[in-house]
Amino acid sequence: MNKKMSPLIGVTTSVNSRDYEISNQSVVMLPENYPKAIRKAGGIPLLISECDDVDELLDCLDGLVISGGRDINPNLYSQIPHEKTTDFSDIQDSWEISLIEGAIDREIPLLCICRGHQLLCVIRGGQLFQDLPTTEGYEKHGATGGNWSEHIVKLEKDSLIFELLGSEIMGNSGHHQGVSDAGDLRVVGKTSDGLIEAVELDDYPFLISTQWHPEMLGQDSVFEGLIQASSR
């Protein structure tokens, strides 16, 4: 009798230049919190890198996590880059857009975090604030000098994220951009000052998108929900 395999969960990585064995080498990077959270929830993490074949990947994945990382090119949401929007990659943007769109077409369970949250909103017709520390009303958000900020996020009752985490959570901010318009996605979580921190897609089996990092905050139920949905 064949043993049922744990669900295979793809998680995106970023390519960055780092001194690794030799100086200034392109290195595939991902914080360990992501695969640890997937394993703890009962899944098998598969680290995937930009330019991997999207169709081949999605044909073998049971679920997908779009991780955090660099900025998104403002041209994708018809804006001119802010002076502090300098770290973006057209290759990564294009590949992850294809990945998200392909996953949605296949109704693959999807969890988008931080950069992933922002990119999902852009794909669905939304807009971003390019630099929260210089955006009136949102100056307290983001990471200044490497120091992350924290804030309460209130969650809507009629949502997947509410079922998993309850009515409110303490979120964290390691970003300087934020979602100003979620497009056709349903907003299910906001901070007290109105920043969009969580969205979902109606009539979709499992799609949760958060600006904060559940993998860093011990919010295991989010990953357990992803694994459960990916096991069906």
pLDDT digits (tens, 9 = 90+) for 169-222: 999 987 789 999 999 999 999 999 999 999 999 999 999 999 999 999 999 999
Q: Which of 141, 151, 176, 213 is catalytic?
A: 213
| Residue 117 appears among annotated catalytic residues | no
Q: What are the backbone dihedrals phi and psi of residue 226, each rounded to the nearest 5 degrees, phi first? A: -65, -45
82 annotated active-site = no
Q: What is the mean pLDDT of the chain?
A: 93
Provide CB contacts within 8 A for 192, sequence distance 6+. Answer: 151, 152, 154
Catalytic hit among 96, 197, 200, 215: 215
Phi and psi at 115, nearest 5°, equal -55, -40
Q: Of 208, 214, 137, 222, nearest to 178 (Cα)? A: 137
CA distance 116 to 227: 18
**Tokens representing 110?**
């999807």
Note down the domain range covering 63. Answer: 8-230
Domain count, the chain: 1
Reply yes or no on whether 114 is catalytic. Answer: yes
Q: What is the pLDDT of residues 39-93, one digit of tens each?
A: 999 999 999 999 889 999 999 999 999 999 899 999 999 999 998 888 899 999 9
* CATH number of the domain within which 130 lies: 3.40.50.880
Give the tens place of pLDDT for each residue, 56-66.
999 999 999 99
Alpha-carbon separation of residue 149 from 50, 119, 198, 209, 224 (angstroms): 29, 21, 17, 19, 26
Tell me, yes or no, whether 128 lies in a domain. yes
Give the three-class secondary structure for 90: helix
Whether residue 185 is contained in a domain is answered as yes
75 within some domain: yes
* Antiparallel, parallel or unpaired: β 8-12 and 44-48: parallel
Q: Which residues pair with 110 in a beta bridge?
A: 64, 207
Is there a domain that residue 159 lies in? yes
pLDDT in tens, 14-46: 988 887 788 888 888 999 999 999 999 999 999
Q: Quote the pTM value.
A: 0.94
CA neighbor of 163 nearest in space, from 231, 228, 66: 228
The enclosing H or E element of 20 equals strand 14-20
* Cβ–Cβ < 8 Å for 104, 201: yes
Q: Where are the beta strands (DSSP E) in 30-157?
A: 44-48, 63-66, 110-113, 127-129, 149-155
Q: Catalytic pick from 96, 114, 121, 175?
A: 114
pLDDT at 2: 57
